[in-house]
Amino acid sequence: MNLADLGEFNLINRLQSRLKYRSKQVIQGIGDDCAVYATATGTYQIISTDALVENVHFNLKTHPPEKLGLKALAVNVSDIAATGGIPRIAVITLGLPKNFSVTFLERFYSGLNKASEQYKVAWVGGDTVSSPKHFFINVTILGEVKKNRFFTRKGARAGDKIFVTGTLGDSALGLKILQSRTKINWRGPAASRKKLVQRHLAPTARIKESNWLVKSRLKVTAMIDISDGLAQDLNQVLTTNGVAATLQKSRLPASRHFTVFCRDNNLNPLNYLLYGGEDYELLFTLKAEDVYNLRESIDKSGSPVTQIGEIRKGRGITLIDDRGQSKTLSEPLGFNHFKARR
């Protein structure tokens, strides 16, 4: 069955029934002109939106619908995590070709539902529109931050230390594998390839780590989520604050699967660690005097956090290699929708 057979309103009713998560804060959800929800006292509301477009952000031949549903919400929750917020509600708009598969959409909504339960986000509405050729997804998410404790890109100063959660580059390698699956026989363990692909298809938003930083009272001076690559997103922070950064090559965190795959296939790890994109890890800066306190907190929480460099005066990003030699990173620094690809 396709959309032309079912029609818009039957489709909405059919998909709505797949969204099970409910929030006590939602007064009026799906089915009215506006949704209504109650905010917690002592908080600001925060809002973010992200779009995913077929053949730009995903390929229907390689991206399972359930995973696409998970990703559609996770990339928005990641923005909330970058502010130290709690995600609450979301709305979704779908652009659909008339011959689009209803079964695909049902599986996609199963992924949306799983993600909403994982991140405790209630779906409260949206829109479906006809698209002439390609499938597109737009999610808008609302959340809350404490009035006296939230993070932005602004605030990094010379002397601050630079940290990232998790590992870098896995998603970019996963995408490379997906895009070349029928063209190249990759060397190395199949398990490594599978792990890398999963990091791309279904990323995890670091909301747990963000909430841990909020509760820690550490002096976080700036924070951003890594969606366009470490170098690109770090440069956003640097430009906002009029400062520069030095990164230590040896400290850039990589997973075992990433390291094995690059080694076995003669790939340069730096291309993916620095410029890969869609890591959805948190990049944050911290006052130097708080580094010891952070390490103590890490030991207690078990969260993977790595110090990778330092903010300094000046402009740009300098990379220090294993021999102590420095290199200034040149543009393009990562993904940009309207510029030529690296």
Task: State the DSSP string of 72-136.
Answer: HHHHHHHHHHHHT-EEEEEEEEEEE-TT-BHHHHHHHHHHHHHHHHHHT-EEEEEEEEE-SS--E
CB 265 within 8 A of CB 186: yes
Q: Which of 3-7, 114-118, 131-135, 250-254 has the lowest mean pLDDT?
A: 3-7
CA-based nearest residue to 220, from 270, 290, 144: 290
Residues of the chain with CATH 3.30.1330.10: 3-146
Q: Residue 335: which pLDDT band, with cuts at 50, 70 and 90?
A: low
* Secondary-structure class of domain 161-328 per CATH: alpha beta
Question: Span 314-331, mean pLDDT?
Answer: 92
Residues of the chain with CATH 3.90.650.10: 161-328
Residue 21 tokens, joined: 């998560």
| CA distance linking residue 55 with residue 63, whole number of Å | 11
Is 80 exceeded by the pLDDT of residue 120?
yes
Q: Which of 39-43, 200-204, 222-226, 325-329 has the lowest mean pLDDT?
A: 39-43
Question: Span 43-49, mean pLDDT?
Answer: 92
pLDDT given for residue 295 in this prediction: 77
pLDDT tens sequence across 154-177: 999 999 999 999 999 999 999 999
Report in angstroms the alpha-carbon separations of 64 from 116, 137, 143, 183.
18, 15, 28, 20
Tell how strand 122-130 and strand 244-248 pair up.
unpaired
CA-based nearest residue to 19, from 139, 126, 122: 122
pLDDT given for residue 337 in this prediction: 52
Helices 207-216 and 291-301 meet at what angle, rounded to 10? 130
**Amino acid type, 106:** E
Residue 325 tokens, joined: 């030699």
Q: Which of 109-118, 237-246, 287-296, 314-323 has the lowest mean pLDDT?
A: 287-296
pLDDT tens sequence across 60-83: 999 999 999 999 999 999 999 999
Q: Residue 340: which pLDDT band, with cuts at 50, 70 and 90?
A: very low
Question: Span 251-259, mean pLDDT?
Answer: 97
Question: Span 196-207, mean pLDDT?
Answer: 96
pLDDT given for residue 249 in this prediction: 97
Q: Residue 338: which pLDDT band, with cuts at 50, 70 and 90?
A: very low
Number of Cβ atoms within 10 Å of the Cβ of 328? 10
Residue 127 tokens, joined: 């829109």
pLDDT given for residue 276 in this prediction: 93
CB 103 within 8 A of CB 110: no
Average pLDDT, the chain: 90
Q: Residue 278: which pLDDT band, with cuts at 50, 70 and 90?
A: very high
7's CB contacts (< 8 A; 6+ apart) are none
pLDDT tens sequence across 81-101: 999 999 999 999 999 999 999
Question: Which CATH entry fits the domain spanning 3-146: 3.40.50.460, 3.30.1330.10, 3.30.70.1900, 1.10.645.10?
Answer: 3.30.1330.10
Is 90 exceeded by the pLDDT of residue 5?
no
pLDDT given for residue 293 in this prediction: 86
Q: Residue 152: which pLDDT band, with cuts at 50, 70 and 90?
A: very high
pLDDT given for residue 248 in this prediction: 98
